[in-house]
Amino acid sequence: MMNIIFLGPPGAGKGTQAKLVAERFHIPHISTGDMLREAVTNGSELGKKVKNIMESGELVPDDLMVDIVKERIGRADCKKGFILDGFPRTIVQANALDEVLKGMNKEIEGTVYFKIEEEEVVKRISARRVCSKCGAVYNLVYSPPKVNGICDKCGAPIYQRDDDKEETVRKRYSVYIEKTVNLLDFYKKQGKLFEVDASKDIEKVKSKVGEIMAKIGGEKWLH
């Protein structure tokens, strides 16, 4: 079983790497950010609760996040493991997660921290654009659309999400560092913390993550 946490501020690239590892292990990549944004888009009760919180750059309350994650990791596709991306973000959430997993006879086997500075995060996220129709994601610096303002895939307009605007990005980074820094010590004391320099290019980060996964998974990773 491979139960892994990817930690790092918004824009660190942990989602991209999580998808690659998830494909390698055939386990689900659980992005709490994606789950929350989907809820907002769908206009569900959860979406209504978290919409204003997300747009202000604040963190969703611990009890609400724990309930969301508990339900998700209890599904059948998580029997062989999972990658949590965006959770936990506080010590309260980390302790609650350990208790939830204990009740399932599971535990976190490794935590990967994607370290990156604020200015690089702002540069990456504030340049991000999303298709208004199909949801395709672009970056005006690294992967711009062929035609300015238009989605390559479906021809619909692309736009900047409110939580990707510079002011909100800086607030999100500040909140993340303030609330999450203690998690590093939490998992370090458990002997489960590994660090990646997320400012490197995707291939270099991928290589480092692969090395870490081999340490965490051993034979499970190699085969």
**CATH code for residues 2-116+177-222:** 3.40.50.300
Residue 6 confidence (pLDDT) above 80:
yes
Q: Above pLDDT 90, what percent of the chain? A: 61
Q: What is the structure's pLDDT at 67?
A: 83
Q: What is the rounded average pLDDT of the residues 55-63?
A: 80
Residue 33 has what pLDDT? Answer: 80
Of the candidates 37, 89, 124, 208, the residue annotated as catalytic is 89
Of 80, 70, 61, 72, nearest to 100 (Cα)?
Answer: 70
- 89 classed as catalytic: yes
Helix (H) or strand (E) holding 41: helix 32-42
- Determine which of 2-16, 33-47, 184-198, 206-220 has the lowest per-residue pLDDT on average: 33-47
Is 14 an active-site residue? yes
Length of the chain: 223
pLDDT(220) > 60: no
Amino acid present at 154: C
Per-residue pLDDT, 222: 52
Query: Full-prediction pTM beyond 0.75?
Result: yes
How much is the pLDDT for 221? 53
Q: Is the pLDDT of residue 95 over 70?
A: yes
For residues 167 and 118, is the Cβ–Cβ distance under 8 A?
no
Q: 12 with 114: CB under 8 angstroms?
A: yes
Q: Please identify which of the residues 37, 124, 128, 208 carries the catalytic annotation.
A: 128
Is 172 in the active site? Answer: yes
Among candidate residues 19, 51, 80, 161, the one labeled active-site is 161
Q: Which of 14, 124, 129, 208 is catalytic?
A: 14
Q: What is the mean pLDDT of residues 140-154?
A: 95
| Catalytic option among 37, 124, 129, 172 | 172
Each domain of the chain, given as residue ranges in start order, spans 2-116+177-222, 117-160
- Let me know: does 80 contact 1? Beta carbons within 8 Å: yes
Query: Does 129 qualify as catalytic in the annotation?
Result: no
Please check the confidence at residue 129 and state whether its pLDDT lies above 80.
Answer: yes
Given a contact cutoff of 8 angstroms between Cβ atoms, the answer to whether 141 and 123 are in contact is yes
